[in-house]
Structure formats: structure tokens, C-alpha cells
Amino acid sequence: MRHHMLAVALGVLLVSAAAEAGPKDFAIYATRLGGDSAAAAPYIAKFNAHVEEALKWPKGSLKGVFFNDRREAAAYIKSTRPGLGVLEPPLYFELRAAEKLTVLAQLESKDLVSPKLHVVVKDPALSTLDKLKGKKLWTMLAESPAYLSKVVLAGKVDAVRHFSLKRVGVAGKGVRAVLRGEADATILDDEQLAAAKKMEGGDKLRSVYDSPALPALPLVAFGTSLPAKDQKALVAVLLKMCASPKGAPICKDMRITKFAPVDAKLFSEAQKRYEAK
């Protein structure tokens, strides 16, 4: 059921992938819980219907596609040119300048968002980032080394040069690798670390590095294909949705706490780190 529902939460405003995306089509890229979009259609239809009714947009106005693979998401965006997206921060910062992305709002959810990350080890000899030089780090962020190095690790080390990186599709795989001794370290958020400590041998896990506060999932506009008035109207509906009588059950089913105004300070701080030379 958890994986059945996660695609719903991650596939906000999603029905299907169009050959040529329109200004109201979404590219969704979110990774925390894995999953796919196949089982999400009934829930997404309810979400779409709610938003379309609130905005008085024609039925079927909102379409999109969900990915938990960065390369597939990036390829879809490049080939179809959607108007909107909900993107993991690493991909947002990667595409921000080239795609002229504007953050309209942010999606908040304990199931989808990692507000802080930790470099987690088991071996007591590995007490600092320096002592992890040349060691195996298994993480979902291995395919986003710039974000890992500059934003999560705040420029303290170059992840590619410092670690032997391996990408894992879900955080649990990294945890199990550390517990079995296959990896020296992994990266977890607060909730994932708390859960890992409850696993057999997990009491020995500890963080040797804690990241700064990290941005939530941004709702973005790609350029100006969706007119500013429509962007503004969409945001107004989403900001109220999860607290409304009709919208709250839909958000709950999709594990979305709420859509919120952009934390501009947090995004700006992360962007400065990402763009630092």
C-alpha cells in the first residue's frame, strides 16, 4: 500500500505522458519513496478534477508524467517541453538556468521531502568526513554529485573525488549495505535514520555529518509557456487546497501536507552554494 500510494503523492497533476507537452502539462520527478505512476491514475484524476473545477479549466487540462529516475525525467523535459513541474531540488538546480525555471510554490510532506540529510556510518573508526576519503558511499544522490558536494555537503568535500560513489534507488538499500559492511556510509534524512536505527544492528549507526537545512520540492514553471495569470491562479488554488473540505482528503491520500509559499531564503542559500566555484 505504501508504494501504491507514493506514486500518487509524487504524481501531482499527472495522468499520462504526452508526445508533445503543453503549457499545463507537468513533469514530476521525486525519489524519496521510489514507486511508479501506474497505480495512481484514480487518485490523480480526483486531484486534476478538483483543480480544474476550481480554476474553471476544461476537463483534461492537467496532464503530466511521473519519474523517479533522473535521466528519464531530464530526457522527458528536454524532448517534450512541459509548462510545469514538481522536481527534486538536485534536478531543479541543474536545470534552473537553462530551462528558465521559476519557483511558484513548494510541496511540503514528511513522506516526500527531506529537510536535512546526514552522512551515516557504522564503523566507529569513521568519525569524520575526512576519514571517509576513498570509502564507499551508497546514496540516491550519487547521480547528482554537484548538489551532493555543494549543497548537501556545503562544499566541504568534492563527492566524486572524495568518495567511491554508488547510486541506490531507495534509501533502505544504502542502510542495508552499511549494516552488512558492503558500504562504508550512506545518506539518510531524519526519519530514515530513525527507522534505520530500529533495524538489526542499527543501534550502531550514527551521523558523522549533518547538512544545512535543505529546500522542499519546488513547483516550477518552465519559462513563460503558461501565462503568468494562469500560474498565479494555479498557485492560489494549490495554497488553499489541502486545508479545504474537498481538497484535504485528496492531499491526505497523496501524502501531501500542503502546498506552501516559497521559502525564498532557503532556496537562495542553496542556490548560492550550488553555483559557488
CATH class assigned to 117-210: alpha beta
**For residue 78, pLDDT beyond 50:** yes
How far is Cα of residue 114 from the mean position of the Cα atoms in its chain?
8
Using one digit for the tens of pLDDT, what is the confidence trace for 28-47?
887 876 666 676 667 777 88
Q: How far apart are CA 242 and CA 261, in angstroms?
A: 13
Tell me which CATH homologous superfamily contains domain 2-112+215-275.
Answer: Periplasmic binding protein-like II (3.40.190.10)
For 97-149, the pLDDT digits (tens) are 999 999 999 999 999 899 999 999 999 999 999 999 999 999 999 999 999 99
Does the pLDDT of residue 8 top 50, yes or no? no
Tell me what the mean pLDDT of segment 19-36 comes to: 74
Judged on CB neighbours under 10 Å (0-12, 13-18, 19+), 217 is buried
State the Cα–Cα distance between residues 79 and 189, nearest whole angstrom.
33
Looking at this protein, which amino acid is placed at residue 276? Answer: A
Q: What is the mean pLDDT of residues 195-210?
A: 97
Alpha carbon 179 to chain centroid, angstroms: 25
11: closest CA among 33, 32, 29, 34?
Answer: 29
Q: Could you tell me the pTM of the whole model?
A: 0.88
Average pLDDT, whole number, for the chain? 89
Please indicate whether the domains covering 2-112+215-275 and 117-210 agree at the CATH topology level: yes
Antiparallel, parallel or unpaired: β 164-167 and 206-210: unpaired
| Average pLDDT score over residue span 257-270 | 97
Q: Where are the domains of the chain?
A: 2-112+215-275, 117-210
